Amino acid sequence: MCRSLRCKSGFDRPGPSFRASCSGMNFHPHVSPQLKGKSDLTSLNPAKPWPRRPWQPLMRLTDVVNLDVEAMVSDAAAHGVDCLIVSAGGFTAWYPTQLSCQRRNPYMTGDFLGEVVAAAKRHGLQVYGRMDISKGYVEWYQQHPDWYAVDADGTPIRYWELHETCFTGPYFQEYNLQIIDELLTNYPLDGLFYNFYLLQSCHCERCQEVVQTAIGQRVPTGSRLDPTYERWRHQALADYTARIRNRIHHHRPEARLMVYHHLQKGWDPRLMADAVDIWTAQASSPLLRNPLDPQPAWLYWIGEEVQKGQVLKPGVPPMLWLSYSEMFASRRVLQPADRLVTHIAQGAAYGASVCPSLNGVPGRQEDPRPLQAVAAKQHELERLAPFLEKTTVPTRVALVYSPDSFWFGPDQGEPGGRKHGHLPEFRGLYAALIDSRYPFDVLIGGTLNAPTLQRYAVVILPALHCLTDADALALDRWVRDGGCLMATADTGVANADGHPRTRPAAPVFAPLPGEAQSATGGYLRIADPALRAALGGSSLIALESAFLPLSIQGAHTDLCLLGPFRNNAPEFTFWEGGTVGPPGLVHQHFGQGHSIRLPWYIGGLYNTAAIPEYPVLLGWLLEQVTGPSPIMTNAPPSVQVVLREQHRPSGTRWLVHLINNTAAAERPLLSTVVLPPVTVRVRCPARRVYLAVADHEARATRDGEWISVRTGSLFQHELLVLE
């Protein structure tokens, strides 16, 4: 890492601290000097802050040769890093282990882990030991076949050139605990982090016996996920995770456990969040993804994972993993700096701890290009830390993510799966909410209850195929008490395990949608003049994929289906008379509240093709229910606006992050296009505005309940602090 804070684009990064530059004004970060730049959130030990600006060197075996550990650690500390996550144990040991279940790094002559811990303690950094028990060396297989997982044919399961370990075998059940004992007895670690952590589906005789005893069936071999087996797998992994967490706490009560799998394969996030100390998720965006598990590109992935993590484990900043690598499998060439920095800014804006993961160590990179800019951003986040802690979203809108629908609906647990699944619908609506500038929370399906729901005026269910009975009843009651439920596509057609429902789960979900029909070549015809006006005078919205007709009487309806027209030769793209199909918008009253149903894939289509009318329609519907969004801007849609609120004893503070994703069209973000100044209006009683990244106060004007401010030129990220 380089100590210069000048980035390659020639923009001077902020120099003097906010505290210094604002002396005499009313901006006070409200942190003690000891805590400056550190989180004041705590868990078991009230004195120990959560890691907020971690860094993970993904060590190569040879990196330990002649490595200046002190220089590596002091350079990280100089750039605001507060926690190192370094290789410790598992199939390779990075310390002089006495256990034969680990292979000492053959290039190591001393004690790499011990040296890192000693240097980190001198610099006030936390250290988490990185573990990997998911795999083992192929050479060990002849002697220890019982350590490894096998497929239905009995062949060991490989990942890269290693064999995956079996969850019921001795590596997980005995040796991992011995490694924990050895590590935490000998090193004052602040926690352990398990890489590639999963219960691999294994067909060995031992696993067959365990599964047969637990659920009365063998390990399934079909391509569809089996709910009975998956639920067993979820619970078994969560129970095991709690067991290793307890073992860690037994040695060091203040140490913490984090676990990671890039797909969270076999995880129930609701159970796993309870079993760990810190919730973690992947938000890597290499230009080419992991070739073994390809996943779709997704601009707002980081925000999505942070919002999920904040509701799964409230009060603990989620940890997000961000790979430096440009192509996942060609780790040594790094992503462009602008891309990495905007992703880090997105995570920080939502309140996450973003952990950049670098293959190897900084001084030994063939491609050092983005290191300086990322280090400068980490350093800047240390300065901005008081504005990033304990923030919430000022909103009465919630979007529900349903793990059950993702596993047992059309997605079948595949993130790159079908267009008609829950995840693409969720992500499309997530993006449409951002693009319509409505702040929102994320809720987790299977956990909905009255105290949670009563915080919201609108709850959106995106193709929530697998609706639990308890969620359905809680939502029904909440609607009758005044809530507005917005449900799209095939919401509610199945129970939690994916079995089709023959009757609605609750009256508010009646009627069940009819059989899906193709909508390709069709339109939705707008009757409401106000919606036509919102869409600039258009009376049609284009439609594709599937439409699920609702057979309904006595409701207010609009957006009736025209077509679809099969003969798309231009001569035949006309229609005569008033014949229209079923409605694409159904509005019904229930008690004090109401439901809005959109029985088509508005989110999936927006996720696929960014159809511009869809966020306008969504924003128009939300405005009918909740009034205008509390934030407006003339910035283009490529600028992501994140509005947060911070409640302090001295009053509320509003924070507006502007993340500039403007880049060449139809291509991934490689280089940020600098924008001219933009205007932001926020509905709040604040009287002054500080541009925290640029590090100066901005002139603000008040217009009734709105405050208006103009930024300077917008590079990667700006943070408006309103007090």
Residues whose CB is less than 8 angstroms from the CB of residue 646 and which lie 6 or more positions away in sequence, other chains included: 387, 389, 390, 391, 392, 652, 653, 654, 655
| C-alpha to C-alpha distances, 464 to 398, 409, 578, 589, 625, nearest whole angstrom | 14, 8, 33, 21, 21
Q: Which is nearer to Zn ion, 203 or 644 (CB)?
A: 203
Among residues 207 and 656, whose Cβ is nearest to Zn ion?
Answer: 207
* Residue 206 or 480 having the CB closest to Zn ion: 206
Nearest CA among 711, 657, 720 for reference residue 688: 720
Nearest approach in angstroms of CB 256 to Zn ion is 29
Question: Residue 589, by phi and psi: left (phi above 0), alpha (psi -120 to 50) or beta?
Answer: beta
Smallest gap, in angstroms, from Cβ of residue 170 to Zn ion? 11
CA–CA gap between residue 611 and residue 538 (Å, rounded) = 14
CB of 162 to Zn ion, least distance (A): 16
SS3 121: helix
Q: Which is nearer to Zn ion, 202 or 658 (CB)?
A: 202
H or E segment at 383? helix 371-384
Is 166 or 198 the residue whose CB approaches Zn ion more closely? Answer: 166
Give the nearest distance from C-beta 264 to Zn ion in angstroms.
Answer: 20
CB closer to Zn ion, 173 vs 701: 173
CB of 204 to Zn ion, least distance (A): 3
- Judged by beta carbon, residue 215 or residue 527, the one nearer Zn ion is 215
- Min dist CB 148 to Zn ion, Å, is 8
Nearer to Zn ion, 200 or 711 (CB): 200
Q: How far is CA 592 from CA 159, 449, 478, 598, in A?
A: 55, 18, 9, 21
- The candidate with the shortest Cα–Cα distance to 541, out of 491, 622, 601, is 601
> Which of 204/443 has CB closer to Zn ion?
204
Nearer to Zn ion, 172 or 547 (CB): 172
Q: Minimum distance between the CB of residue 403 and Zn ion, rounded to whole angstroms?
A: 25
Residue closer to Zn ion by CB (options 41, 210) is 210
Whichever of 206 and 477 has its CB closer to Zn ion, that residue is: 206
DSSP lists the bridge partners of residue 546 as 518
The structure tokens listed for 321 are 């993993």
Measuring CA to CA, which residue among 398, 597, 405 is closest to residue 489? 597
Minimum distance, C-beta of residue 155 to Zn ion, in the bound complex (Å) = 13
Select 173 or 330, whichever has its Cβ closest to Zn ion. 173
Question: Distance (Å, rounded) from C-alpha 388 to C-alpha 353?
Answer: 10
- How far is 434 from 225, CA to CA, in rounded Å? 32
Site for Zn ion in 205-244 (CB under 5 A): 207
- Tell me if residue 397 falls in helix, strand or coil: strand
Give me the 168-207 binding string for Zn ion, x by CB under 5 A, dash otherwise. Answer: ----------------------------------x-x--x
CA distance 321 to 358: 11
The interface with Zn ion within residues 134-173 (CB under 5 A) comprises: 166
Nearest approach, Cβ of residue 354 and Zn ion (Å): 35
Q: Compute the distance between CA of residue 538 and CA of residue 594 in angstroms, rounded to an integer.
A: 27
Number of residues that bind Zn ion (CB under 5 A): 4
Length of the chain: 723
- 487 beta partners: 461, 597
Q: Which of 397, 400, 418, 549 is nearest to 466 (CA)?
A: 400
Q: Which residue type is seen at 62? A: T
**204 versus 474: smaller Cβ distance to Zn ion:** 204
Work out how close the CB of 147 gets to Zn ion at its nearest, in angstroms, rounded to a whole number. 9
Side-chain half-sphere exposure of 655, counting CA atoms within 13 A: 27
Of 178 and 208, CB closest to Zn ion: 208
Distance CA(701)–CA(707), nearest Å, equals 6
Q: How far apart are CA 221 and CA 585, in angstroms?
A: 41
Residue type, 76: A
Shortest reach from residue 265's CB to Zn ion, in Å: 16
CA atoms of 202 and 196, how far apart (whole Å): 16
Comparing CA positions, the residue from 480, 475, 450 lying closest to residue 460 is: 475
Q: Whole-number minimum distance, CB 168 to Zn ion, in Å?
A: 5
* Least CB distance to Zn ion at residue 157 (A): 10
Using an 8 Å Cβ cutoff, are 294 and 329 in contact?
Answer: no
Angle between helices 422-435 and 613-626 (to 10 degrees): 70
- Residue 6, φ and ψ in degrees, nearest 5: -100, 125
Applying the rule CB under 5 A, the residues between 562 and 581 that interact with Zn ion are none
Q: How far apart are CA 584 and CA 488, in angstroms?
A: 10
Q: Smallest gap, in angstroms, from Cβ of residue 203 to Zn ion? A: 7
CA distances from 170 to 87, 118, 173, 574, 586 (A): 22, 32, 5, 69, 57
Query: What residues pair up with 259 in beta bridges, in sequence order?
Result: 194
540 Cβ contact partners less than 8 Å away, ≥ 6 residues apart: 523, 524, 525, 526, 562
CA distance 347 to 657: 11
CB of 204 or CB of 721, closer to Zn ion? 204
State in angstroms the smallest separation of the CB of 206 from Zn ion.
5
Q: Which positions from 375 through 404 interact with Zn ion, judged by CB under 5 A?
A: none
Find the shortest distance in angstroms from Cβ 201 to Zn ion: 9
Closest CA to 445 of 402, 486, 488: 402
**Which residue number, 150 or 311, has a Cβ lying nearer to Zn ion?**
150
Q: Site residues for Zn ion, window 455-484 (CB under 5 A)? A: none
Helix (H, G, I), strand (E, B) or coil at 594: strand
Cα atoms found within 13 Å of the Cα of residue 606, Cβ hemisphere only: 28
Tell me the closest approach of the beta carbon of residue 202 to Zn ion, in angstroms: 3
Cis peptide before 564 (omega within 30 of 0): yes
Binding residues (CB under 5 A) for Zn ion: these are 166, 202, 204, 207
